[in-house]
Structure 1
Amino acid sequence: MFNVAIVALPYCHASGVHGVMDFFSVANYCSNQSGAQSAPLFDCQIVTVDDKPVRGYSGAVITPTIQRRDFQADLIVMGSSVEAAVGADRLDQTLAPAIPLHGWLRDAVAKGTVVASVCTGSFVLAEAGLLDDQVATTHWRAASLFRSRYPHIRMDADQLLVDNGQIICAGGASAFVDLCVHLVERFASPAVALACSKMLVLDGRRIEQTPYMALYSQKAHQDDAIRKAQTWLEEHYADSVTINEVAAVAGLGARTFKRRFKEATGETPIGYLQHLRVEGAKHLLESSREQTARIIWSVGYEDASSFRRLFKRIAGCTMEQYRKRFSYVSPSAA
């Protein structure tokens, strides 16, 4: 039997805690039905920092099922720790409740326990020093904040799941499902994981969270000139735009503008403009049945092949695949 501790922190996503609990219960059922396991394969328990109930982000109360220090876990799953959109000025405050867990997590890893995070739970692992020399992922909207706080840790926000061996990170909040499939496959067997997927009516495992990303405009910096340029670009991205023109809007020379834009946003002006155009195309793919060629022209590109390559690189799929997955307009409305 494998002991699984699911850590619930204040303001975490309750579904990411109870959902993991439910998934491993289904794994026990599927393993038993296959005849491969007579006793439960997983003993799954919810733990909290102080062994007291916590209130999740939705207001739902999450009650621990066992005292944390009394449970020797083979696997620890760290739920979300902060809002994906929390600002840098509030990060210390939101991470503070998890500080008592740092030593416990380090001791567990030293004893061979596998530790996995869901969503922004990766921040707790980073604070505990468990992601040094590892590759991490987190919710795509928190990736920039993660990079600025932990520049020494390699962040690959495109990936929905990163398995470093003993340390595993999963991306956005619902990625706990993909993490559970992976863990059951690893701790039990691919057959049990597949049986769980069928029982829970899950599609094949997702690999990237890139298609779900939206441009999260980084305006929490202190550079008013760059913020002015960002706003202007967001209003004129479909026009023929030059760097000199945007620099003039910011009241800066071109070289100074490019340097300060990168420092403030983490992106080059051209990269920012490209992301804006892809976001514009995404919106039209979601909300209309307009021909893809017309969509490409409407966001400021004349070279359709070039934009298609750009779209696939940024969105992680083709324009047609994106429309099929995310469109909310009936084909009959075209």
Structure 2
Amino acid sequence: MGAARDPVEIGLVVYPGVQEAAVLGLTDLFQLANRLASERSPDALRLRVTHWQWQEASQTVIPTFDSEPGPGYGPAMVILPPTLGDPIPREAAAPYADWLRARHAAGATLGSVCAGAFVLAETGLLSGRVATTHWAYRDALAIRFPDILLDADKLVIDDGDIITAGGYMAWTDLGLKLVDRVLGPTVMIETARFMLVDPPGREQRFYSPFAPRLNHGDEAILKVQHWLQARGARDVTLATMAEHAALEERTF
């Protein structure tokens, strides 16, 4: 039996107006994936699910639920679930922006579902990127954030460090995509089969986008990775990347 590995933490943001069924559904999905993974191997990597909410008293975002209580918090992935009502106003979303930017800078993957994109967009991290949201919110998102390259025809857009999902029920697609990324395709397929939902994407794995590792702790390299993700699939030289990292070419 191998040494126990620390679970991968996935944080769900409980912002004002969030659809609680999606928060609870994602929590159940990840815990189901844990069970299926452990049935295949007792030493399987686990997912730790936490819920996060803005607290006025402390003026910060704090954890309000933990599926595996233990020392320290640091979501490797953060999800902004959908809402049943109108998109969150900018002033209500603003308190979450700094926390989300800090998590992203630390290497976390950020994801949004449906109108959760409005909270994610407040960070500025969607600027110049292709993203999606629910078709009913397409125009509102485009007006509020005109610098986003919006493609509301896509159900899920995986940009590596940022994933946006469009449909109201697309939390299952996003959740399964993260299960695939952390626990592997076999556990993802078993989870989808148990839930009687289609696997995300419905395309060949060879056409899936590459998802680089972002939690390595090297700030200079992470800065360049985020810059490359924002640029998209465009040629770039080693010298340019080294300059962006503030390193010499031979050091980079």
TM score, norm. by length of structure 1: 0.52
Partner secondary structure for residue 3 of structure 1: strand
Over 3 Å counting, the alpha-carbon distance change for 1:165 and 1:94 in structure 2 is same
Distance 1:51-1:188 versus aligned 2 partners, 3 A rule: farther
Partner SS state of residue 10, structure 2: strand
Aligned position for 2:82: 80
The Cα shift of 1:133 comes to 2.4
- Partner in structure 2 of residue 147 of structure 1: 142
- 2:43 corresponds to: 38
1:10 Cα deviation after fit: 1.6
* Contact kept in structure 2, 1:11 and 1:81, CA below 8 Å: yes
Q: Alpha-carbon deviation of 1:24?
A: 0.2
How many angstroms does 1:115 deviate by?
Answer: 0.6
Q: 1:16 aligns with which of 17, 22, 30?
A: 22
Q: How many residues align?
A: 188
Instruction: Quickly say closer, same or farther: Cα 1:183–1:106, change in 2 above 3 A.
Output: same
| Residue 65 (structure 1) aligns with | 65
Query: 1:129 is matched by which residue type in structure 2?
Result: G
In structure 1, the partner of 2:176 is 181
What's the secondary structure of 2:164's corresponding residue? Answer: strand
Paired letter, 2:129: Q
Report how far residue 39 of structure 1 moved.
5.8
The AA in structure 2 aligned to 1:71 is Y
Query: How much does 1:124 deviate?
Result: 1.1
CA distance in 2 between counterparts of 1:45 and 1:126 reads 22
Partner residue of 2:9?
3
Q: Distance in 1 between matches of 2:55 and 2:49?
A: 18
Q: Which structure has the larger Rg over C-alpha atoms?
A: 1
Instruction: Give the equivalent residue in structure 2 for 1:101.
Output: 96
The one-character-per-residue Cα deviations of 1:38-80 (angstroms, maximum 9, x if unpaired) are 366101011111289xxxxxxxxxx93159xx62111101123
Unpaired runs of 5+ residues, structure 1, are 53-62, 208-334
* Identity of matched residues, %: 30
Deviations 1:154-192 (A, max 9, x none): 011011101111011011221000111111111110001
Structure 2 length as normaliser, TM-score? 0.68
What letter matches 2:74 in structure 1?
Q
Q: Give CA-to-partner distance per residue, 1:195-245, whole Å, 9 cap, x none.
A: 1011112234356xxxxxxxxxxxxxxxxxxxxxxxxxxxxxxxxxxxxxx
Deviation at 1:118, TM superposition (A): 1.0
Q: Is residue 49 of structure 1 aligned with residue 54 of structure 2?
A: yes
Cα deviations by residue, 1:271-303 (Å, 9 ceiling, x for unpaired): xxxxxxxxxxxxxxxxxxxxxxxxxxxxxxxxx
Q: Show the counterpart of 1:295.
A: none
Structure richer in helix, relative to its length: 1
Q: In structure 1, what is the Cα distance between the partners aligned to 2:134 and 2:149?
A: 14
Partners of 1:4 and 1:73 within 8 A in 2: yes
Match of 2:113 among 114, 118, 122: 118
Unaligned runs of 5+ in 2: 1-6, 58-62, 203-252
Whether contact under 8 Å (1:82, 1:94) holds in the other structure is: no
- Structure 1 position 32, deviation (Å): 0.5
Alpha-carbon separation, structure 1, partners of 2:133 and 2:167: 6
Partner of 1:317: none
